[in-house]
Structure 1
């Protein structure tokens, strides 16, 4: 299952709230200054997935986000949670068969302050974004404003100087074979203990080595969870961009090979003079890393 959230401003079209922004707003890391000091309607849609695509709406739920003067919703969410907890029925102190009226009042207050009635046209507009039939059906995605301290010249220069040779680290680790990989990770952790000034750095490269060793073992044995992946690449002036991706989770490399062939056959019609359809096999750690990278760049 998966979910999407949409914000319904008083004027204009609804806008999609990305998962990254949603998490940032909930945690207080992100803000929407354009809505500071307002109450905004939100609609959440939970749907089933089939082959990575939405197949059926399982549930919809409305909510109201109360933005503070900085465009953050964390304090409003805290009040909503408190009201929701207070509205839960509990037995009366005087009788085990009598329910107190206070929770009912809290429930009415919660519904009035943090819920709204979505009309059929609101839900239909969101469904058109989930299953678009034309380009105009897709809704825009709103972006937040994270708290970011100003980056001074000294700080930027230090980061650039430090990271200048970062590319050498994964390259050196990837070249190691399994026995050397084990020794590398073990020695790096020993040095983290004996050289506390650089302990965090040694532990970081040891973690990178552990990750690479896990991938190497899975590629050698073919065991564990694998992913068959097919990407549709659009090419312009020699530069390719992934415009679609299809995947299937498999229980072994052999199973993933068959799944990749089936995905290639299913999507072969998407091949064109400026588009290629490419298949790849990823171990579970590689898939998780790639998915995390995609999320971070969205």
Structure 2
């Protein structure tokens, strides 16, 4: 089986979304700034493949992608997933037909808000692109903003794996140190970098990691400056593997204000809690928040 994705703009011909582009947008590595600030229809089809040729369309479904001010869809996808999950886990009523029907109505509204049904015209246009009879049947491909990555050869992948196999030990060692030890650690790393210039860049990076962790500890001790209240909605599968389906945050000044804001966010999103969904709150310094955002983009 294989999947393909298509964008159906309000005006103009549909566009094919390459797998690299679609996955890049879902994980925040790509964007379509030409659709910034709009809501667009996207069709996803699953194909039966024989060798390299598509034999038939097995399924097709439509969803709405909401693009933010820079053409990113992640926030819209998070909201969509959260609304659908919330509707699906709305507790049923126990005293009356009208109340008992409310979960179904809520789910129906969520489906209408975030999904659409492909008609014959859309399916015919997709089929023409998959099995073109003329060159004009093929749809143009949408262009994202990410640069196509160079190929990673087997030798390159092996060399990178060998070189980075134990990198986790660096951050683990730094995380175990207290403030006085971190100062000496960073100074000594820079001293060794000067003594061994062939590894100078590596020692400099290690020293910078120590500096950043030292600053985080200082800010946590003082409690001043910019902080973030964060609430994550996490769906857990049967193997106890969690997937973030929603993240809400609020920028605050001072740790105590962030704690109060986190309590408020936790109360606002408590309804999203379900049998397999947890709602978790925490407070982060601005440095930790930036690292969390970078980690999300890398994922």
Q: What TM-score, normalized by structure 1, do the two folds share?
A: 0.57
Aligned to 1:183: 184
C-alpha distance in structure 2 between counterparts of 1:147 and 1:13, whole Å: 19
C-alpha distance in structure 2 between counterparts of 1:125 and 1:231, whole Å: 21
The residue correspondences of 1:3-152 to structure 2 (distance < 5 A) are 8=9, 10-12=12-14, 18=25, 20-22=29-31, 42-45=34-37, 134-136=113-115, 146-152=147-153
Aligned to 2:201: 200
Indicate if the aligned counterparts of 2:225 and 2:253 stay in contact, CA closer than 8 A.
yes
C-alpha distance in structure 1 between counterparts of 2:286 and 2:170, whole Å: 22
Of 272, 275, 280, the residue aligned with 1:273 is 275
The SS at the match of 1:273 is coil
Cα offset, 1:274, TM superposition: 1.1
Cα offset, 1:159, TM superposition: 1.0
Aligned to 1:173: 174
C-alpha distance in structure 2 between counterparts of 1:185 and 1:7, whole Å: 54
Q: Which has the higher contact order (CA 8 A, sep 6+)?
A: 2
Indicate if the aligned counterparts of 2:232 and 2:280 stay in contact, CA closer than 8 A.
yes
- Residues 1:188 and 1:126: Cα distance change in structure 2 (over 3 Å): closer
Aligned to 1:286: 288
* Unpaired stretches in structure 2, ≥5 consecutive residues: 1-6, 40-63, 68-72, 81-109, 118-141
C-alpha distance in structure 1 between counterparts of 2:188 and 2:157, whole Å: 32
C-alpha distance in structure 2 between counterparts of 1:14 and 1:186, whole Å: 53
Indicate if the aligned counterparts of 1:230 and 1:280 stay in contact, CA closer than 8 A.
yes
Cα offset, 1:144, TM superposition: 6.9
Alpha-carbon RMSD = 3.4
* Unpaired stretches in structure 1, ≥5 consecutive residues: 1-5, 26-41, 47-56, 58-123
C-alpha distance in structure 1 between counterparts of 2:192 and 2:224, whole Å: 32
C-alpha distance in structure 2 between counterparts of 1:260 and 1:214, whole Å: 23
C-alpha distance in structure 2 between counterparts of 1:7 and 1:194, whole Å: 60
Aligned to 1:258: 260
Indicate if the aligned counterparts of 2:29 and 2:146 stay in contact, CA closer than 8 A.
no
Greater shift after overlay, 242-251 or 129-138? Answer: 129-138
C-alpha distance in structure 1 between counterparts of 2:264 and 2:258, whole Å: 10
- Residues 1:125 and 1:251: Cα distance change in structure 2 (over 3 Å): closer
The SS at the match of 1:21 is coil
C-alpha distance in structure 1 between counterparts of 2:197 and 2:171, whole Å: 22
Cα offset, 1:126, TM superposition: 6.3
C-alpha distance in structure 2 between counterparts of 1:281 and 1:175, whole Å: 20
Indicate if the aligned counterparts of 2:185 and 2:207 stay in contact, CA closer than 8 A.
yes
C-alpha distance in structure 2 between counterparts of 1:284 and 1:162, whole Å: 31
Indicate if the aligned counterparts of 1:192 and 1:200 stay in contact, CA closer than 8 A.
yes
- Residues 1:254 and 1:232: Cα distance change in structure 2 (over 3 Å): same
